[in-house]
Structure 1
Amino acid sequence: MAAERLQQQLNDIESELLSTDNEIQRLRGVKQSLLRKRDELKVRITQQVQDELARTDWNKNDYPWHEQVRKHAKEVFNINGFRPLQIPTINVTLSGKDCILIMPTGGGKSLCYQLPALVSDGITIVISPLVSLMEDQVMALKRINYPAAMLSATTPKDEAQAINRALTDPKNPLKLLYITPERLAKSKRFMAKLEKMNADNQFARLAIDEVHCCSQWGHDFRPDYKFLGIMKRQFPNVPILGLTATATAHIVADVQNMLGIEGCIVLRAPLDRPNLRYEIHQKPPTQKESIKYLGDIVQRRFRDQSGIVYCFSIKETEEVAAGLRECGISAYPYHAMMNAADRSSVHRRWATNKVQVVVATVAFGMGIDKPDVRFVVHHSLSKSLDNYYQESGRAGRDDDSATCILLYRFADVFRQSSSVFTEKSGQENLYAMVSYCIDGKRCRRAILSEHFGEDSNVIVKCENKCDNCDPHTAVMTKEVDVTAMIKTLYKILDMASTNDERLTPLKLLDAWQGKGGSKKLKGEGVTFTNMPKERCEEVLATALLEGYLREDFHCTPYAYISYINVGPMAKAVKSGNKVVFTFRTHAKRKSDTEDTMPAKKQKTANRQAGPPARCEDKMVPKASQPSCSKEIVVVQ
């Protein structure tokens, strides 16, 4: 009897400990939520102060340089009118004040330093992370006789020497110099030139393109951008103009701190692009099928219209481009491993509509530009919403209708996670991207606007320009109790641990479906599922996002490998809490390869797409372009 009483006391204590653990877990969640709200409020307070400063009427036309700005805009750039925030930004930087400009891709950010450079005495230094983009901009400026140059690792020695001489020659007409952050950080001689320029009042301003690269919290942090933190200390009277298409309030605050321009003027344009349509398609399971599916989309919906396809790797760009050519589509790769002449040839032929589709790596493809791009397709998952917004923003820069499509497949998540997990917030940013892809209910553009801290209820008017809002493509959603499924996954993981085996995401999926050598992982209470693979993948993806599972990474000499383990929410499940996920019902919908644009708008888009790619394209003989007419219908 005494032993039974002691056992009962032990059971009571165990129960109380479990209850305490659950309460601690709950309070940790509450604390994290409060900490996030505190940080958000701090950022919002700073933002309010900046907004008050930004509300100064920078749009006035009585500044002393106003007539010069208008004159150069007309005579040099053939511009009669300005886009929103261009004039305020120009006035701020010509007033000698520090400023950060956040404006969508295609909004005209470059003009905000190119015009002031012509008006100001001295030279404007432009920091840009992409050599290809600098080359394009300098070439375009030289075509209109704008005095611009660039310095990079590939600049010929004699040309670099001439540029260095020009920096300290007040009589030299040079007004704009593009330079990579790496070149700036590693060249003491160049910094000495800047010191001399500054002493002679010839250092007009420092413009930093893609300024979000300064922030470790950003989606594209670059270590060499950290060097820019000394610029304000070295040149306190030189105004800084930071430009980006994507930056949350948190990232802006981090950038200001890093550059030493806290409290500077921040001008933020609404980030919603009303002319863009956003769609997520279920990516077919094999590379061959996905390329055929992509070819079918291009032929059915975007025939003779200019487009970009983004891929995860250089190898993938080559394979996808070759596959599209087999479908009869003029498509060519564009990446860093191509020699400069071939890359330039592809870009030039694409820009003149002799090539229909450029298939580019994300890292390199941001250096290409064309206003009448009618579609951007991500053949692989983007690594963050910030990246996706910027990459998809290459479409429709002429303000006419364009479409942004992402092909989502569960396996692609882990290719990305293995490459971003070493980045600060890399996994968090990737999971936000995955959440965007599997969300079958909320407006796509509202999700993007909310991500960047905008009030989507005020800013966003989708007008059925995303697959979730369009009645032709929208699907129903329902809540599903997945508690038993999660417990089964835990049992499989426990069995694997007992067998001293680690499971990759795809091995866990196979084990759950009873495939391969998974029978040894079938313990007591493990029931193999007969659900479709796509639904199983959706359960696993949501479980990762919600913390019921977690990714761990193992480093090999060749790669980082992702393994799945029990997540922090496991205690809640084991203590009896129910787990409910929201899923798409996979209702019948219009084929993703079919056009959803109204006929009138489609005719307009066709007309605006420019001259069609010529059939006699010499890079691929016409005879080698078989039809790709087989339709692959994937229902979301």
Structure 2
Amino acid sequence: MLALELAVVQLIELKLAACLWSLLCLLIAFPAVLEEVLVSIENELQAVEMQIQELVDKQQELLQKKTRVKNLIKQSSGDLEAGGSKDTGTSAEEWNRTDFPWYEKLKTALQSKFKLHKFRSLQLETVNAPGVRLIIRAACIRETTVFLVMPTGGGKSLCYQLPAVCSDGFTLVICPLISLMEDQLMVLEQLGISAALLNASSSKEHVKWVHTEMLKRDSQLKLIYVTPEKIAKSKMFMSKLEKAYQAGCLARIAVDEVHCCSQWGHDFRPDYKSLGILKRQFPNTPLIGLTATATNHVLKDAQNILHVQKCITFTASFNRPNLYYEVRHKPSNNEDFIEDIVKTINGRYKGLSGIVYCFSQKDSEQVTASLQKLGIKAGTYHANMDAKYKTKVHKGWSTNQIQVVVATVAFGMGIDKPDVRFVIHHSMSKSMENYYQESGRAGRDDQKADCILYYGFGDIFRISSMVVMENVGQEKLYDMVSYCQNMSKCRRVLIAHHFDEVWDSANCNRICDNCCRENACEKMDITGYCRDLIKILEQADRMSEKLTPLKLIDAWSGKGVSKFRVAEVTPPKHPREELERIVAHLLLQQYLKEDFSFTAFATISYLKVGPKAWLLKKEGHIITIEGMINSRSVKPSQSSNSKGSRENAQTGSKTVQDSVMKKSQEHKRPSCSPNLKAKKPKPQADGNDQPLVID
């Protein structure tokens, strides 16, 4: 009996010990469990905050659109000056007259000096401004500041060049690039208008002559071009400007590419911040700021930097109706890619002038060499090239001795060759502003021209690694990627949305690849794919490994390093370019995110689980992507010429792949777009220079 009792007691003690041990283990593990719960709650809160911010942003966007539509309604009834700022106190009747004392002088100079018989229809018919006459009139009046936003090729330069010719003294023009100024000086010289450029390479004799002319009221020197660095760093030049101002010789100041003032702009330049001294030192000199690409936020920032209290702001419509916008899939094989570009140039643009924009200086040199080997007369242009060679290439292209300039963004703002029939982007631009400006160098003669962008998955991360340190660089890049990814919306609608403008896709007249699609793009559920990608990334994280975008796709496809693959993830059967589109889409939607590693020689982009990934835990949460299913046909436009067919616009990733693989269909222009009818340019003699021969 005693033995039984002892056994029972021992059993109870063992059970108590086991319970105590379990309780102890639970207490030890409890903080870790709570930590997991806390992390989950924090992730959910972060995602909720993001959704709230998205809704707030959407609300602000709708309120802005509402205001713009109200203003358009008022403008149409004559209550608000078209294109003018509401707080300037001006009215349409005050400016839209021809009885100003200087009007006849302007009109005479327009015809005799600039060989123009009227202002261009694009300038006069813009939605928000009655045209360039209004800008010129405002710029002629003392103590007036004007901001002008007008599309690339709209004729912004005339807005300060014409008043400069009509008034005493000189106009100071501040430009960011030497190539821009050289181009304008070349045109002005042909028109017989005296203008000068001052930069680091100017001779002492030239500088002395310009300084002397600056103090003559009757001087024939009408325009002086300088970079912002000249204002920021040359005390000698600033002292000459002060003397010219006191003598009444500084007629006006033009700040070209005024968006460069703002750090929120796509091309911020620190020396532009020093331009605020101009309004302080020369308060009675009229100032005009010009740009093709600036949102309202950027304009306000630029106004503050320039110390402008009040200004009249005119905004022309962004639309260039003669430009055809097209996005193509970028072949992964470089030889195929170059062959595609060459066949396009030799087929569609035989003998016609164009530009190929590249991401890097190395790319531009390699592409130039490849084009030259295949018989294209091409020249390279980038910032690190010898100044004399750049000028030679620029002049050779301007006089049609070179057919194609292969360039970086250094060949940029202000390039004004009218007969550019195509702009090809070897890689996408780093922002929508850059792309709009670069593509806008085509068709400045108002004839039909093409803007072709090659979009490659790898380019996203090449550019992202470059802009990661910029203030809003990654945000602007993702806007550009979103434009390239979109396969359903009118390209003009996408551009208009970015520049805060309302646009009806019906007005596109089927002059973009997306509007040429006969059928609507279908949507594909990619929720399962997103879960698979997250499993792969989470496994890599547990292994303390990082995956680049290419390694992630390899692991997802069942290729590459075996340790990165996940057993329960079935490799998808789609072509690789479709998998790349899915990953890019999930990155834009923040289910994935970029993470950067900085080395002594490079910045490397990796992919990680994004802040919205937790939403996949919710039952019924679905992620979709457009344009993944066939819908290949392109419906001809009513206005197209039946003799000139175009390559079918890419209507899905499969179609894009077919367009690369099927050589017979590669280089025809989509039939829904009008044919190029511009005349082939004739090479022009370049003074005493010998013709530039490109091997």
> Normalising to structure 2: TM-score of the pair?
0.81
Call closer, same or farther: CA 1:311–1:18 in 2, change over 3 Å: closer
Aligned to 1:578: 621
Q: Does the CA contact (< 8 Å) of 1:103 and 1:268 recur in 2?
A: yes
Aligned to 2:216: 169
Q: Does the CA contact (< 8 Å) of 2:510 and 2:673 recur in 1?
A: no
Radius of gyration: which is bigger? Answer: 2
Of 493, 497, 501, the match for 2:541: 497
Residues in 2 aligned to 1:340 and 1:13: alpha-carbon distance in whole angstroms: 61
Q: Does the CA contact (< 8 Å) of 1:181 and 1:224 recur in 2?
A: yes
Residues in 2 aligned to 1:526 and 1:376: alpha-carbon distance in whole angstroms: 42
Letter in 1 for 2:148: L
Residues in 1 aligned to 2:58 and 2:631: alpha-carbon distance in whole angstroms: 37
Aligned to 2:47: 25
Q: Does the CA contact (< 8 Å) of 1:212 and 1:252 recur in 2?
A: yes
Q: 1:240-277: CA deviations, max 9, x gaps?
A: 10101111122222222222224411111111011010
Q: How far has the Cα of 1:393 moved from its partner? A: 0.5
- Of residues 542-551 and 53-62 in structure 1, the stretch that sits farther from structure 2 once superposed is 53-62
Q: Does the CA contact (< 8 Å) of 2:168 and 2:218 recur in 1?
A: no
Call closer, same or farther: CA 1:56–1:259 in 2, change over 3 Å: farther
Of 191, 200, 203, the match for 1:144: 191
Matching of residues 29-48 of structure 1 within 5 Å: 29-34=51-56, 37-38=59-60
Q: How far has the Cα of 1:397 moved from its partner? A: 0.4
Q: Does the CA contact (< 8 Å) of 2:379 and 2:393 recur in 1?
A: yes
Aligned to 1:64: 101
1:515 equivalent to 2:551? Answer no
Q: 1:265-315: CA deviations, max 9, x gaps?
A: 111111101101000000100222211111111122212221111111122
Of 91, 112, 125, the match for 1:75: 112
- Of residues 502-511 and 349-358 in structure 1, the stretch that sits farther from structure 2 once superposed is 349-358
> Normalising to structure 1: TM-score of the pair?
0.89
Q: How far has the Cα of 1:468 moved from its partner? A: 0.7
Q: How far has the Cα of 1:514 moved from its partner? A: 2.3
Q: How far has the Cα of 1:489 moved from its partner? A: 1.4
1:596 equivalent to 2:669? Answer yes
Q: How far has the Cα of 1:321 moved from its partner? A: 1.8
- Of residues 390-399 and 558-567 in structure 1, the stretch that sits farther from structure 2 once superposed is 558-567
Aligned to 1:625: none
Residues in 1 aligned to 2:600 and 2:457: alpha-carbon distance in whole angstroms: 25
Residues in 2 aligned to 1:613 and 1:479: alpha-carbon distance in whole angstroms: 52
Q: How far has the Cα of 1:401 moved from its partner? A: 0.6
Letter in 2 for 1:86: V
Q: 1:569-626: CA deviations, max 9, x gaps?
A: 0121234452322231244453463333659953xx3443434899xx98356xxxxx
Call closer, same or farther: CA 1:314–1:526 in 2, change over 3 Å: same
Call closer, same or farther: CA 1:389–1:261 in 2, change over 3 Å: same
Q: Does the CA contact (< 8 Å) of 1:300 and 1:593 recur in 2?
A: no
1:567 equivalent to 2:604? Answer no
Aligned to 1:326: 373
Of 92, 115, 119, the match for 2:138: 92
1:390 equivalent to 2:437? Answer yes
Residues in 2 aligned to 1:578 and 1:556: alpha-carbon distance in whole angstroms: 39
Q: Does the CA contact (< 8 Å) of 2:170 and 2:222 recur in 1?
A: yes
Uncovered stretches (5+) of structure 2, i.e. residues with no partner: 1-18, 72-79, 124-130, 634-647, 649-658, 660-664, 686-690
Of 461, 467, 482, the match for 2:507: 461
Q: 1:25-55: CA deviations, max 9, x gaps?
A: 3354224532564488589879968544464
Letter in 2 for 1:264: C
1:253 aligned counterpart, secondary structure: helix
Letter in 2 for 1:154: S
Q: Does the CA contact (< 8 Å) of 2:593 and 2:609 recur in 1?
A: yes
Aligned-residue sequence identity (percent) comes to: 44
Letter in 2 for 1:117: A
Call closer, same or farther: CA 1:20–1:368 in 2, change over 3 Å: closer
Aligned to 1:131: 178
Aligned to 2:288: 241
Q: How far has the Cα of 1:130 moved from its partner? A: 0.7
Matching of residues 233-382 of structure 1 within 5 Å: 233-366=280-413, 368-382=415-429
1:619 equivalent to 2:619? Answer no
Q: 1:71-103: CA deviations, max 9, x gaps?
A: 222221112111222111100111231111111
Residues in 2 aligned to 1:75 and 1:109: alpha-carbon distance in whole angstroms: 19
Matching of residues 485-564 of structure 1 within 5 Å: 485-517=529-561, 519-523=562-566, 525-564=568-607
Q: Does the CA contact (< 8 Å) of 1:481 and 1:578 recur in 2?
A: no
Letter in 1 for 2:280: R
Letter in 1 for 2:531: K
Call closer, same or farther: CA 1:130–1:45 in 2, change over 3 Å: same
Q: 1:150-194: CA deviations, max 9, x gaps?
A: 111121222112222322333433221110001111112222222
Q: How far has the Cα of 1:421 moved from its partner? A: 1.6
Comparing both chains, which one has the higher relative contact order based on Cα–Cα distances under 8 Å and sequence gaps of 6 or more?
Answer: 1
Q: Report the count of equivalent residues.
A: 611
2:119 aligned counterpart, secondary structure: coil
Letter in 2 for 1:106: G
Q: Does the CA contact (< 8 Å) of 1:347 and 1:368 recur in 2?
A: no
1:481 equivalent to 2:503? Answer no
Aligned to 1:627: none
Call closer, same or farther: CA 1:531–1:379 in 2, change over 3 Å: same
1:469 aligned counterpart, secondary structure: helix
1:374 aligned counterpart, secondary structure: strand
Residues in 2 aligned to 1:576 and 1:608: alpha-carbon distance in whole angstroms: 61
Residues in 2 aligned to 1:171 and 1:262: alpha-carbon distance in whole angstroms: 32
Q: 1:219-240: CA deviations, max 9, x gaps?
A: 1111111111232222222221
Aligned to 2:148: 101
- Of residues 186-195 and 542-551 in structure 1, the stretch that sits farther from structure 2 once superposed is 186-195
